[in-house]
Amino acid sequence: MLVWSRPWRIAAWALAVPLFLIVYGLPVGVIILASFSGQWNDILPSNLTLVHYAKAFRTDSYDALRASLLTGVIASAAALVCGTWAALALRALDRLPKRILDLFFFIPSAVPSVSVGLALLVAFSQPPFLLNGTAMIVLIAHFILISAFTYGNVTAGLARIPADCEQVAESLGARPFYRLRRVTLPLLLPYLVAAFSLSFALSMGELGATVMIYPPDWVTLPVKIFALSDRGAIFDAATLATILGVATLVVLLGLSRLSTKAMTR
Amino acid sequence: MSQATVMERTPAARHFVASAASSVADGSRIGFENVSVTYGALTVLESLTLTVNPGEIVALIGPSGSGKTTALRAVAGFVRPSAGRILIGDRDVTHLAPYDRKTGMVVQNYALFPHMRVEENVAFGLRAHGANGDLIRKRVPECLAMVGMSAYAKRYPRELSGGQQQRVAIARALAPKPQVLLLDEPLSALDAQIRRSMLDELAKLHRDLPNLTVLYVTHDQSEALTLANHIGIMRDGKLKAFGESQSLFRHPPNRFAAEFLGRANLLPVSDLEPTDGQMARVRFGDVTLSAHNYHGVAASGDCLLCVRPHDFRFSHNAAEPNTISGTVISVQWQGDVHCITLNIGGEEVRMTSAPMSSPPRIGELISVYFNPAEVTLVPEDASHG
């Protein structure tokens, strides 16, 4: 009734659109407006300016954007390789060990990021594993936090690949690596792209663990935004938040086009 | 450049060159020697012993869960037998990986690689064997021509109909010149009309490649009867009957084979009395009938008289030999035949005849007869099947 009757459809839209605008649109709109604001003492900002953007690309904020993008790409790539490998390896296991390892691989998604940050801080602050104060510890933290999502996405993708395709490939003489390269991975490509996209988006927004372990020369954009807002530089923080959102969106749109292309082959 | 010199990189490639040099695939014998497959406590294939001779088509038929696909997948290497041996030619392949078995497989849903064009699909097996580009460029068009798909080489599988996809799947399986071809319900996903035309094409393909050994799994008896030299009928993981197709159809060895292959009428008869040669006299109710005792059913045993629906003919004289009378229960016109169901002595009996302008009416008493040489006696096994 809700779907087929015109009055109910109008009612549904009348409820959904304002809800979407208030819960999602308003905060994003306020951030974007604030990034252009010289002053904001009334309902709307005044003295609109681009000075915050000029500052963002001149100061150490640019280094933070670079650190975030590099962290996102490297951690997501590592998580994609490991998650894919784990998902492929687990396919060959019996039911019980598969379920146990499956649970094990999903644990990082259940642990709060602050706990991951603290654990890494404690584990890697003493020789021989002295990583505290290096960019590597940030990459490891991001890898841990996103790997479960990558593994989950690839596992779901593998379940949807027709087993017949791989078996026919084998019967045609394809050895395991050839089959993986020519059949399994190409069929899995849309899911790999989706897994990388999700990992990258999560990494770009990660703060909880990073804020506990980041070294001075590897400050990510969320840490910088947090620091700026903590100091009361709301307009600068809003500018970096907008840049962070746009940068993430641009990468995700590019990946989405790649995924669509792979899907429609 | 000759085929023998184009790809000599690995021992596997050299072997492939040697086999590819022949103009048609030389089929090999497939042998099952007491092959059993179990999953935990569940036995899905029980002591299967069967031989498919080179160049033969053997069809395995049976209801769902009868073990026919398991048997085929055991040959392909995707199911590991818990006991017994599988031979392809003289090689024991029981523990070989699927990619070392040199089989070609075609499955129900075609399983074409969606990211590859038709020509790339067909070339896949050749490339996997390390074939040289020259051989691939020669062999792929040959295989596509063989299945009438030359015009579609550049298309993706999603741009083809079901029948076309299945043709490509067959070309792909044949391209590396496999020793045996495994067909797992290859026509099941096609609609009736395309299935009939594909069946004709498969029969033609085997006429063109008479040395190719084929193991064909289907649940459709008409496919098996059209294509196969021999038919194996499976049930509950066991081979219930095996024989030359026509012989198995005319003289089914047990009730299950008679019912599954051709939906025969099975009339319970008694007082078996051998007459000349392989013939015998039996009692059906008050009537004495003659029949072929092909399986030598013992005089003391219970037995069934197997009469195919098309073996009944209308009789105008109830006193004629081998004539029985019954009441018409239903009459169905099916285009090319009339199907008539009779109640004869409490048994439902089906018969078919050429279309009639005035078929018998429901409730009418009619007489039918059969040629004794065309019907056979079947032992009544304890399990009914």
Residues B245 and B268 in one domain: no
In the 8-state DSSP scheme, what is residue A24? Answer: I
* Closest chain A residue by Cα to residue B177: A172
**Domains of chain A, residue spans:** 76-264
Chain B CB contacts of A178 below 8 Å: 128
Chain A CB contacts of B101 below 8 Å: 171
Choose one of B228, B250, B272: the last residue of a domain: B250
CB-CB contact of A207 with A25 (8 Å)? no
Q: Do A167 and B128 touch (CB under 8 A)?
A: no
pLDDT digits (tens, 9 = 90+) for B140-163: 999 999 888 999 999 999 999 988
pLDDT at B160: 94
Cα gap B206→B201, rounded to integer Å: 9
Crossing angle of the two packed helices A221-230 and A61-91, in degrees rounded to 10:
130
Residues B85 and B142 in one domain: yes
Chain B CB contacts of A169 below 8 Å: 113, 124, 128
Q: What would the mean pLDDT of B180-206 be, rounded to a whole number? A: 86
B385 found inside a domain? no
B258 found inside a domain? no
pLDDT digits (tens, 9 = 90+) for A187-242: 999 899 999 999 999 999 999 999 999 999 899 999 999 998 898 888 989 999 99
Residues B56 and B166 in one domain: yes
pLDDT at A116: 92
Q: Which of B78, B96, B101, B154 to mutate to test the interface with A (most CBs of A within 10 A)?
A: B78
pLDDT digits (tens, 9 = 90+) for B23-56: 445 568 999 999 999 988 899 999 999 999 999 9
Q: Do B124 and A172 touch (CB under 8 A)?
A: yes
B217 found inside a domain? yes
* Closest chain A residue by Cα to residue B101: A171
Task: Count other C-beta atoms under 10 Å from residue B1's C-beta.
Answer: 9
Q: Do A162 and B103 touch (CB under 8 A)?
A: no
Choose one of B250, B275, B291: the last residue of a domain: B250
Task: Label residue A18 exposed, middle or buried (CB < 10 Å: 0-12, 13-18, 19+).
Answer: exposed
Phi-psi category of B207—alpha, beta or left, where left has phi over 0 and alpha has psi -120 to 50? Answer: alpha
Q: Do A171 and B109 touch (CB under 8 A)?
A: no
Q: What helix, strand, coil percent values describe chain B, rounded to 5?
A: 30, 35, 40
pLDDT digits (tens, 9 = 90+) for B224-269: 999 999 999 999 999 999 999 999 999 999 989 998 888 889 999 9
Tally of domains within chain B? 2
For chain B, percent of residues with pLDDT exceeding 90: 58
pLDDT at B14: 45
Among A14-23, B192-201, B212-221, name the one with the lowest average pLDDT: B192-201
pLDDT digits (tens, 9 = 90+) for B271-308: 888 888 788 889 888 889 999 888 888 877 678 999 99
Residues B70 and B192 in one domain: yes
- Residue B282, CB-side half-sphere exposure with 13 Å CA sphere: 28
Q: Which of B364, B268, B276, B354 is nearest to B309 (CA)?
A: B354
| A44, two tokens | 């709307």
CATH number of A76-264: 1.10.3720.10
In the 8-state DSSP scheme, what is residue A1? Answer: -
Cα gap B172→B163, rounded to integer Å: 14
Residues B220 and B274 in one domain: no
Long-range contacts of B277-285 (CB under 8 A, 24+ apart): B279/B372, B279/B373, B280/B377, B282/B377, B284/B324, B284/B345, B285/B345
| A144, two tokens | 């841990």
* Closest chain A residue by Cα to residue B79: A167
The shortest C-alpha distance from B364 to chain A (Å) reads 54
Crossing angle of the two packed helices B162-174 and B133-146, in degrees rounded to 10:
140
Residues B159 and B292 in one domain: no
Task: Count other C-beta atoms under 10 Å from residue A77's C-beta.
Answer: 15
Residues B118 and B161 in one domain: yes
| B21, two tokens | 């040099």
Sheet containing strand B30-39, edge to edge, reads: B42-52, B30-39, B83-88, B91-92
Cα gap B281→B211, rounded to integer Å: 44
The shortest C-alpha distance from B192 to chain A (Å) reads 23
Residues of A numbered 144-163 whose beta carbons fall under 8 angstroms of chain B's beta carbons: which are they? 162
pLDDT digits (tens, 9 = 90+) for B310-351: 999 998 887 788 899 999 999 999 888 999 999 998 889 999
Cα gap A125→A105, rounded to integer Å: 25
Residues B123 and B204 in one domain: yes
| B91, two tokens | 């090689």
In the 8-state DSSP scheme, what is residue A109? Answer: H
Residues B287 and B223 in one domain: no
Residues B178 and B275 in one domain: no
B4 found inside a domain? no
Q: Do B107 and A172 touch (CB under 8 A)?
A: no
Residues B64 and B159 in one domain: yes
Where residue B109 sits, what CATH number does that domain have? 3.40.50.300
Cα gap B316→B308, rounded to integer Å: 20
pTM listed for this prediction: 0.81
Where residue B360 sits, what CATH number does that domain have? 2.40.50.140
B87 found inside a domain? yes
> Is ipTM over 0.90?
no
B3 found inside a domain? no
In the 8-state DSSP scheme, what is residue B65? Answer: T
pLDDT digits (tens, 9 = 90+) for A34-93: 999 888 888 888 888 888 888 888 878 888 889 999 999 999 999 999 999 999 999 888
> Which residues constitute the domain of residue B41?
11-250
Q: What would the mean pLDDT of A140-166 be, rounded to a whole number? A: 92
Q: Do A171 and B77 touch (CB under 8 A)?
A: yes
User: Is the CB of residue B365 less than 8 Å away from at least one CB of chain A?
Assistant: no
CB-CB contact of B137 with A184 (8 Å)? no
User: Is the CB of residue A42 less than 8 Å away from at least one CB of chain B?
Assistant: no
The shortest C-alpha distance from B244 to chain A (Å) reads 28
CB-CB contact of B214 with B183 (8 Å)? yes
| B313 to B249, B343, B364, B368, B381: CA distances (angstroms) | 19, 15, 16, 5, 29
Give me chain A's average pLDDT, please: 89
User: Is the CB of residue B124 less than 8 Å away from at least one CB of chain A?
Assistant: yes
pLDDT at B263: 82
Q: Do A171 and B124 touch (CB under 8 A)?
A: no
Residues of B numbered 56-115 whose beta carbons fall under 8 angstroms of chain A's beta carbons: which are they? 76-78, 97-99, 101-105, 107, 109, 111-115
B294 found inside a domain? yes
Looking at the predicted structure, is the pLDDT value of residue A8 above 90?
no
B325 found inside a domain? yes
